[in-house]
Amino acid sequence: MTPVPIHPIAAPWGRFHLYSFLIDASELALVDTGVTASAAGVPAELEKLGRRIEDVRWILLTHGHIDHVGGAAALWEATGRRAQVVISAADAPFLRSRQAHVDEFQSLRGDYITDPDAAAKKAAEADAAISGEFEPTLVVHGGEVLELGGGVRVRVDAIPGHTAGAVAYIVEGQNDVFVGDAAQCYGAASGFPGYEDPAAYRASLEHLLALEPRHLYLGHPYRRADGTPFPVELDAADAREALQGSLDNEARIRAVALPYLARGLQHTASVYSPFAAIADALGYTGDPTLEPAPFFTTMHGYLTTAHPQEQQ
């Protein structure tokens, strides 16, 4: 069978570069949806490819972050509500509720970002960036296979870590793998990788590496070790580099963070407080407060999930 074509769809948003993807099967599938503003441009992008939003039958969400699910309600309406909207059970609350994004901000980063208006800003961002709250039509856990017609089958693999409910979509037979933000490499715009659960993140990267993807599709232009961005569509060699680089960077951060965290939090006047010594030792000089604030999310992950035996 000839491989089903896959087309990236750029979705700019502020300082971010987001990507959705079209799986050009007989039942068209969109992977991720950007935010309200970027989703408005998707129908025109599909027209350039000779396709119509009305014919999209699948909206496949890799995880619940605002820049991946924000456009989903608008695009689902544009399909005449005929598309199946797929998200994992663990991340489905982010599709159902804007407030879930504010709650997530407060639980993961609220202790470290001292701006008293931060939660209100997050709520305003959720209002603008999320086109609607709704119930997914298909909730997955990993292990499902979706039939896109014409023999095209897409497998769902659970790859938690970046978020609890992150999933990969794998086009069977051609081994093209969509991972959203599950391979953070050396960070994107913020210059730091973001993951809620470091051990799960690692296990998911090892799972993806073992798949040996023919192509790997990332939600943002994550950076290589030398700071240059990967392309939108990674070939097999770039896929290996991105996945191994993500593992290497996690190991580097863990080796620095765990011994510091074992000695207790150091509250200082630094914008990196209470993790200033870790930022310093890692040479991280980015603004840690800019949302989605991966530095704090990741530090919180080590703080709350790392076990003493991991430090040996």
Of 62-70, 127-135, 202-210, 300-308, which part binds Zn ion (CB under 5 A)?
62-70
Q: Given phi > 0 = left and psi -120 to 50 = alpha, else beta, which region is 191?
A: left
Residue 259 preceded by cis peptide, ω within 30: no
Query: Can you read off the two tokens belonging to residue 262?
Result: 């074992």
Least distance between Zn ion and beta carbon 65 (Å): 3
- The residue (of 64 and 136) whose beta carbon lies closer to Zn ion is 64
- Is residue 221 within 8 Å of 250, Cβ to Cβ? no
DSSP string covering 261-278 = HHT-----SSTTTTSHHH
Alpha-carbon distance of 82 to 56, in angstroms, equals 8
Least distance between Zn ion and beta carbon 178 (Å): 13
Among 32, 181, 238, 241, binds Zn ion (CB under 5 A): 181
For CA atoms 129, 96, 205, 33, the dihedral sign is negative
- The residue (of 232 and 276) whose beta carbon lies closer to Zn ion is 232
Among 22, 65, 184, 193, binds Zn ion (CB under 5 A): 65
- The residue (of 118 and 159) whose beta carbon lies closer to Zn ion is 159
Least distance between Zn ion and beta carbon 162 (Å): 6
- The residue (of 219 and 274) whose beta carbon lies closer to Zn ion is 219
Least distance between Zn ion and beta carbon 259 (Å): 28
Phi, psi (degrees; rounded to nearest 5) at 113: -95, 110
Count residues binding Zn ion (CB under 5 A).
Answer: 2
Sites of contact with Zn ion (CB under 5 A): 65, 181
